[in-house]
Amino acid sequence: MEIVKCWIEHPIRNLDQTFEYASETHISQGCRVLIPFRNRQLIGFVESSKPMEETLKAYEKRNGFSLKKIEGVLDNEPLITEELHDLAFYMREITLSTTISCFQAMLPSVVKPSTHHKKAVVERWVKVSDEKCSLTPKQLEAYLTVSQAGELPYSVLRKNYPNIARVLIEKKALVVFTKEKQAVSSSLSITPSPYALNQEQKQAVEEILSSDDTVFLLKGVTGSGKTEVYFQLAQKVLEEGRQVLFLVPEIGLTPMMIDRVSKRFGSYLAVYHSGLSAQEKYEQYQLVHHGKAGIVVGTRSAVFLPFENLGLIIMDEEHDGSYKQDSQPSYHTRDIAMFRCRYNQAKLILGSATPSLDSYARALKHVYHLVTLNHRVNDTLPHIHIVNMKEAMEEGQNEMISDALRDGIALRLKNREQVIILLNRRGYYSLLKCRKCQQVLKCPHCDLAMSYHKEGRIMKCHTCGYQMRVPRICPSCQSSQGFTTYGYGTQKLHDQVHTMFPEARIIRMDADTTGKKNAHHDLLQAFGNKEADILIGTQMIAKGLDYPSVTLVGIVNGDEGLNRTDYRSCETTFDLLMQAAGRSGRSETAGEVILQVNDPLHYAVTCAASSDYDSFFTQEMAYRHAVMAPPYTYLISITVSSTNPKRCSEMALKIQREISGDFKTGGVIELLRKKDLYRNRILLKGRNLEIMRNAVSNWLDSQKNKPEGVRIDVNPLVLD
Ligand code: ADP
Ligand code: ZN
Ligand code: ZN
């Protein structure tokens, strides 16, 4: 008899411990098992299985409880490796979450240790049997096909030998067995780079390869050929027989990167992002697990794949906020990637034109090894013009498209070049106000304005997704005088551009047009094939795109992000402007950028306009120092949410009273209601993250009842 310790899928914090069960057989760590728990059957995740050194009776007597038996084993082999097991514990420590939630975050949904489990799809396969039987020539041909292949999916055999396949099984010449459906990959085939590296690129590659450091920050202006540097490093690692993980911040960037990677390294490749179905994800997971993929292109969650032999992680656009997970465990991909590289003696390359303040500050202190690319491959930075929209509108120019932008578009259309226009807001109007009481039409579930979407004439809440028709009477004052409209999003911009340039072919790319599977890929491919002249979109078009015939980028409402009260709003605005500007003039033709703003003198705008990261860094660091914000301090945000506003604020006050130490515990801040939940936040701020973490962790351990609706975010990137 074995004693098996299991983690249980249970959101309750004080159940974050293992439970013991008995089993006749040994079960490996990381397998899922069915276990009885409080009159229910739950799924457990095996932590350990050890032979019992006494009889079951003796054990039960000594411990004072009866040991229940495992009711079933769900996996033949462990789902995670030893490394991932250790990583779960590390993640639990740094994010202050439960162990089981860390395992959950790591596994593809079909095999998550959750109570509602779906099964991985199995396929029927055939192989030849030992039975002797007489066959017709055609049957023999089919039989030999199977015999030569060793084994074959039944569907493949049936396709080639429609009726014969079934007969062979009836005759018992073939036997059927089941196997988990698998994705296919092929072996490594490297196509050499189409061009020689320039001096800077060569130096960067050599410096990284010859160094023993683990973490590198590759700071390279947009268009400096960072991707080529990544590929050279990847090639070296692949040739050594080790695996490479290539992380991109957004699913929208995966099609282009997959395309570039597969042209270079063939289909010795796995892909992992949220656009895949649960089954597809599982298949890709297994490809990596069984070492059948050398290079993986993926978003955030790909950092948990069970690599056998990891040699390199590349984190492209490392500053991007989507590398941080919102829900618990709210980990940052960078921390996980660092753990994995240390564990595997692999290298981590953080790449960006606009590194996060934290990363650059660390690189300057030599915590990370800094490598820079200062020149664009074509050696021409785009010309950036700032348009002051307040002045432009006083002169009677169009509120969305200034005269400068209009003329710029006209010129590109004439020259048959392409244009990208960025507006980081979707929908048609951004808000509707009652003509009588002047109240903004808000989401019934959140305290936030709803946006008008012309397609379907509906109001959408961009926070919770709630939709409704424009009401005939005002929900606040019951008047039927109607609403006035304010602000605009990509839909209205599209209409405006179309009105100005009826002959131009326009593609719009935002969350509304990319909901369908492969939509990102299809829209970008169409633009890449020059099936459109103008690409209009939200931030999803600002990053990574590399289209040589784009010579004009227009940025509409470029400084809108500065209105946010977040401590990082200048940084994110600067990043967005720099990234968007970087899409222009990437080949021989010099690029132009027209930046429409309301505050042309703000340093986030002026530094972006002169493509001057270092000057932005200096000014922003001075501001962060003045307000003692990260990276000068660490933050832990604790958010309480509840449908009951009183319970919410009581809980928040209790936390504020009870968590204290050698750091600052801020007052309770009431946040806007979201998805019917009232929300209160307490912010801890201090110079020693360990002390802060311990204080929160001790508080959690001291709670007899589970603290309901409490969300903890260590190093939060957004405070809303
Ligand atoms: P980044 O990622 O730094 O913005 P990319 O890697 O996308 O830049 O490179 C920008 C463009 O320059 C791409 O079209 C790429 O194919 C091209 N390129 C990169 N390196 C070279 C080189 N050594 N010689 C010629 N073209 C290059
Ligand atoms: Zn009203
Ligand atoms: Zn809402």
pLDDT in tens, 380-406: 778 899 999 999 999 999 999 999 999
Which-ligand-closest: CA of 225?
Answer: 1
Pair (274, 406) in one structural domain: no
Q: What is the pLDDT of residue 275?
A: 82
Residue 323 sits at φ, ψ, to 5 deg, of: -75, -10
Q: Which atom of ligand 1 is nearest to the CA of 229?
A: 6
Which-ligand-closest: CA of 468?
Answer: 3
- Inside any domain, residue 461: no
Pair (219, 168) in one structural domain: no
Contacts of 558 (CB under 8 A, 6+ apart): 422, 573, 576, 577, 580, 595, 596, 597, 605
Q: Which residues form ligand 1's pocket by a CB distance below 6 Å?
A: 195, 197-198, 201, 220, 222-228, 377, 546, 586
- Inside any domain, residue 378: no
Structure tokens at 358: 């934290």
**Residue 597: helix, strand or coil by DSSP?**
strand
Structure tokens at 514: 């990319």
Predicted TM-score (pTM) of this structure: 0.87
- Inside any domain, residue 91: yes
Closest CA to 113 of 104, 124, 126: 104
Say which CATH number the domain at 25 has.
3.40.1440.60
Considering only 99-103, 498-502, 553-557, which range has the smallest mean pLDDT? 99-103
Domain region containing 131: 122-180
Q: What is the pLDDT of residue 378?
A: 79
Q: Would you say residue 246 has pLDDT above 80?
A: yes
- Inside any domain, residue 209: yes
Q: Would you say residue 81 has pLDDT above 70?
A: yes
Q: Would you say residue 568 has pLDDT above 60?
A: yes
Mean pLDDT of 463-472: 91
Q: What is the pLDDT of residue 11?
A: 57
- Inside any domain, residue 438: no
Q: What is the pLDDT of residue 222?
A: 85
The residue that leads in pLDDT, 256 or 438, is 438
Centre of ligand 3 to C-alpha 280, Å, is 31
Per residue in 9-56, pLDDT (tens digit) is: 765 656 678 999 999 999 999 998 999 988 888 888 999 999 988 888
2-8 and 19-23 strand pairing: antiparallel
Per residue in 254-310, pLDDT (tens digit) is: 888 888 898 898 878 899 988 888 888 888 988 898 888 999 999 999 999 999 899
Q: Indicate the pLDDT class of residue 187, thresholds 50, 70 and 90.
A: low
Pair (150, 89) in one structural domain: no
Pair (300, 394) in one structural domain: no
Bridge partner residues of 271 (DSSP): 297
Mean pLDDT of 198-210: 96
Closest CA to 556 of 423, 699, 416: 423
Considering only 181-190, 325-334, 336-345, 677-686, which range has the smallest mean pLDDT? 181-190
Closest CA to 574 of 548, 626, 523, 609: 609
In the chain, the amino acid numbered 107 is L
Instruction: Give the rounded percent of residues in the chain with a pLDDT score beyond 90.
Output: 61
Bridge partner residues of 421 (DSSP): 536, 554
Ligand 1 pocket mutation pick from 227, 247, 378 by most atoms within 8 angstroms of CB: 227
Contacts of 408 (CB under 8 A, 6+ apart): 419, 552, 554, 592, 594
Which-ligand-closest: CA of 472?
Answer: 2
Say which CATH number the domain at 329 has.
3.40.50.300
Q: Indicate the pLDDT class of residue 8, thresholds 50, 70 and 90.
A: confident
Q: What is the pLDDT of residue 541?
A: 86
- Inside any domain, residue 462: no
Say which CATH number the domain at 678 has.
3.30.70
**Residue 322: helix, strand or coil by DSSP?**
helix
Maximum alpha-carbon separation in the chain: 93
**Peptide bond between residue 631 and the one before it cis (omega within 30 degrees of 0):** yes
- Inside any domain, residue 531: yes
User: Measuring from atom 24 of ligand 1, which residue has the nearest CA?
Assistant: 195
Whole-number Cα distances in Å, 382 to 212, 354, 356, 575, 665? 36, 16, 23, 16, 46
Q: Would you say residue 459 has pLDDT above 90?
A: yes
Q: What is the pLDDT of residue 183?
A: 65
Domain endpoint, select from 373, 408, 436: 373
Q: Give the integer Cα–Cα distance in Å for 646 and 702.
A: 23
Highest mean pLDDT among 323-327, 360-364, 581-585: 360-364
* Helices of type H across 5-98: 56-63, 82-95
User: Measuring from atom 23 of ligand 1, which residue has the nearest CA?
Assistant: 197
Pair (212, 152) in one structural domain: no
- Inside any domain, residue 595: yes
Q: To the nearest whole number, what is the mean pLDDT of the chain? A: 90
Pair (525, 419) in one structural domain: yes
Ligand 1 pocket mutation pick from 200, 228, 318 by most atoms within 8 angstroms of CB: 228
Total number of residues shown for the chain: 720
Q: Indicate the pLDDT class of residue 322, thresholds 50, 70 and 90.
A: very high
Query: How many domains does the chain fold into?
Result: 5
Mean pLDDT of 76-87: 90
Centre of ligand 1 to C-alpha 247, Å, is 18
Asked if residues 668 and 652 have their Cβ atoms less than 8 Å apart, the reply is yes
Pair (159, 34) in one structural domain: no
- Give, rounded to a whole angstrom, the gap between the first and last alpha carbons of the chain: 53
Per residue in 397-432, pLDDT (tens digit) is: 999 999 999 999 999 999 999 999 999 999 999 999
Q: Give the integer Cα–Cα distance in Å for 198 and 625.
A: 38
Pair (528, 421) in one structural domain: yes
Mean pLDDT of 127-141: 87
Q: Which atom of ligand 1 is nearest to the CA of 227?
A: 6
Pair (220, 364) in one structural domain: yes
* Centroid of chain to Cα 85: 22
Pair (503, 387) in one structural domain: yes
Pair (643, 595) in one structural domain: no
Q: What is the pLDDT of residue 26?
A: 94
Centre of ligand 1 to C-alpha 338, Å, is 27
Q: Would you say residue 63 has pLDDT above 90?
A: no
